[in-house]
Amino acid sequence: MNTLKETVLFLSDKVFVDYTIPGGVQLCTHEFIEYLEGAGYVVKIIKVSPTITLARKVRKKLHIEAYELYDVDSWLEEITSAINAANIKLVFFNQVNLAHWSEKIKTGVAKDVKFIGLSHGNESGDYLHDVTETKETSFLKTWRLGKLIVKEKAIFSRFLDGVITISDNETYIDQWLGAQNVFYLPRILKRDFIDWKPASNTIGFVGTLNHLPNKKGIELLSDELQKLGFKGKLKLVGGPEYAGRALAQRYSFIKYCGFINSEQLVKEAATWCIFLNPVFWYARGSSTKLSQALNWGLPVVSTMAGVRGYDLASHAIYIDNNRPADLAKMIINSLASDEKLKALKQASADNVIKFDLNKWTTRLEDFLTSLKELE
């Protein structure tokens, strides 16, 4: 471990650091900071915000914005002063949409300062899935997709010395886009087991229900459960309300529970025989809800795409493909006996208990040390 307590600079939109109810980006931000502190670094955080202009508002409304919301000029003096005052050699951009700032920052700091992007997932790949789900892809959507890829090429090949991802799958995409030094950090798992009191034949899902991967995941899985004659109950937690009610109206076995707070969610999830993670394509980043379910020690079923970004000791919680029909069969088979559910629960617990945070903080320190040695 870094015993000299070297200071590093962490640049982030303030909404990812200051929050009341964390979303996926906030949780991943917290874990990046925890990893850096675990590797022995003192993390100095500078919180920034988007620079909103009329032109940017229009681009955002038209959905044609591509890494253009942030300007460094308002923060440049504070950033360069912080780097020079503490002799900082490592600067981290929380999300790569800040990475283009490095061009101007470099002009005011020592030449050996290294800039690292903390990627929460590939934007262009996620956008590609979104635009191809519609019957007709418009010219503007196609144009934005191309612009995203061109911008990502510049970010990874010109603006950054290194990239840290939260999914091993993304490392290869970033390399294809020009990144030379890429390192992967899995989601952090920590024991926070709850008292499991499952209600018979009850499974559940929590998430944003109009988010395309979630919505399609529930629909695809429910279609297959329907074919298998599922007689239990699938409980949905999250919003917006119209999306939850529409799914409950479409499938007789779905019960929509609405928005509930964190304390209520613990009580609700404790009654589920299985916590669902129905992810059928490789969306950006990693599945945040999976870590919560594992940390609670609940039985989980997932796909291969759903466990991207995790260092798992037991593979019993997921199928070896991304087919809805196979996930539905795993659910039905697991619900068939208490012994199978208990074995699934033990697999979840094993993944948490055997997760080695020290292994990953050591690897992170080695990666950053080698990065600093580059000319």
Beta strand spans in 202-332 (E): 202-206, 233-237, 254-258, 274-277, 300-302
Tens digits of per-residue pLDDT, 216-238?
Answer: 999 999 999 999 999 999 999 99
Residue with tokens 């613990």: 266
- Residue 3: predicted pLDDT: 58
- Residue 152: predicted pLDDT: 95
Quick check: 241 pLDDT over 60? yes
Q: How much is the average pLDDT of 71-98?
A: 96
- Residue 20: predicted pLDDT: 76
- The CB-side HSE value for 323 (13 A sphere, CA atoms) comes to 6
Q: What percent of the chain has pLDDT over 70?
A: 99
Q: How much is the average pLDDT of 144-149?
A: 93
Alpha carbon distance, N-terminus to C-terminus of the chain: 23
Taking a C-beta distance cutoff of 8 angstroms, is the pair 209, 215 a contact? Answer: yes
pLDDT-derived band at 4 (thresholds 50, 70, 90) equals low
Give the list of residues 6+ apart from residue 157 with CB closer than 8 angstroms, or none: 177, 178, 179, 180
Question: Encoding tokens for residue 200?
Answer: 């018979």
Q: How much is the average pLDDT of 274-303?
A: 92
Among the listed ranges 73-82, 124-133, 172-181, 360-369, which one has the minimum average pLDDT value? 124-133
- Residue 213: predicted pLDDT: 87
pLDDT-derived band at 1 (thresholds 50, 70, 90) equals low
Tens digits of per-residue pLDDT, 105-137?
Answer: 999 999 999 999 999 999 998 888 888 877 778
Q: How much is the average pLDDT of 95-111?
A: 96
Q: What percent of the chain has pLDDT over 90?
A: 82
Tens digits of per-residue pLDDT, 252-262?
Answer: 999 999 999 98
Domains, the chain, with CATH or none: 7-187+356-372 (3.40.50.2000), 202-353 (3.40.50.2000)
